[in-house]
Chain A
Amino acid sequence: MFVALFLMCCGILGIVYRRTLIAMLISVELIMNGAGLNFVVINRFLYPERVNGQVFTLFIMGIAAAEAAIALAIIILIFRRFKKIEADTLKEMKD
């Protein structure tokens, strides 16, 4: 439980702190892992006779896979167009 919380806080810190888009995506993966671990922990310790938490963790894994695929495609597209993946240098859509 504490490990899951630690993971989630690391993910939030990473989103704020890192510079590139890929690092932000890695941080999002950390947050999703923390959420899945939380689901399994709560399922194990609060409702040990059901399997709902594990099923939801499977769903989270599927969603994370889809999200990673789409986000990486978009990042590659951005890199091809602007030749950089730093988030604070992408100013074209700001105005």
Chain B
Amino acid sequence: MLLADIVFVIIVLITMAGATMTVLSGSLIYALMGLIATMFGIAGLYIYLSAPFIAMMQILIYVGAISILIAFAIMLAGPMFKRPKEWTKPIKFISGVITALITFILFISVIMRAEWKGLKAEPVKTTTSDLGRALFDKFMLPFELISLLIVISIIGAIMIALYSRKER
């Protein structure tokens, strides 16, 4: 077993453990920690999939921005130790597990039918410059639309904050 395989298995285990902790933990802060572990694991998986730029953006955006945003929201929502635990009724848990299992089996059966031709292929050479060229050449309109969407969402968040301030 190569060193790369061992590291890959470790990364997969970190990712899955983080996801499990996110879903099953009782406190919101622990769920956030699990989410951050999952994000790091996914960044490692991106590196293994020969997409280092995506891995860097994953760490920058998710770990750096979204997790901090969620942490701020959790802290603004009051002291956590006074809250009841996150667990709801077991009937909800069972229904969630059933839904997740049905989805899992459905997707697995679709994926197994696909033709995996690149499994034995050479290491691909899609570099970051290729990515940028595609982004500004073929995907120009979606790129600009995404930037417009982010601007609109920032303005919307500020407006929500302003109106709630005014009503009090």
User: Chain A residues in contact with chain B, CB under 8 A?
Assistant: 1, 3, 5-20, 22-23, 25-27, 29-30, 33, 36-37, 40-41, 44-52, 54-55, 57-59, 61-70, 72-77, 79-81, 83, 85-86, 88
Contact = CB atoms under 8 A, between A and B. Distances in A.
B31 A26 contact: yes
Interface of B: 12, 15-16, 19-20, 22-23, 28, 31-32, 35, 38-39, 42, 45-46, 49-51, 53-54, 57-58, 61-62, 65-66, 69-70, 72-74, 76-78, 83-84, 86-88, 92-93, 95-97, 99-101, 103-104, 107-108, 111, 114-119, 121, 124, 126, 130-131, 134-135, 139, 142-143, 146-147, 149-150, 152-154, 156-157, 160-161, 164, 168
A62 to B, nearest CB: 4
Interface SS of B by simple majority: helix
A72 B97 CA distance: 27
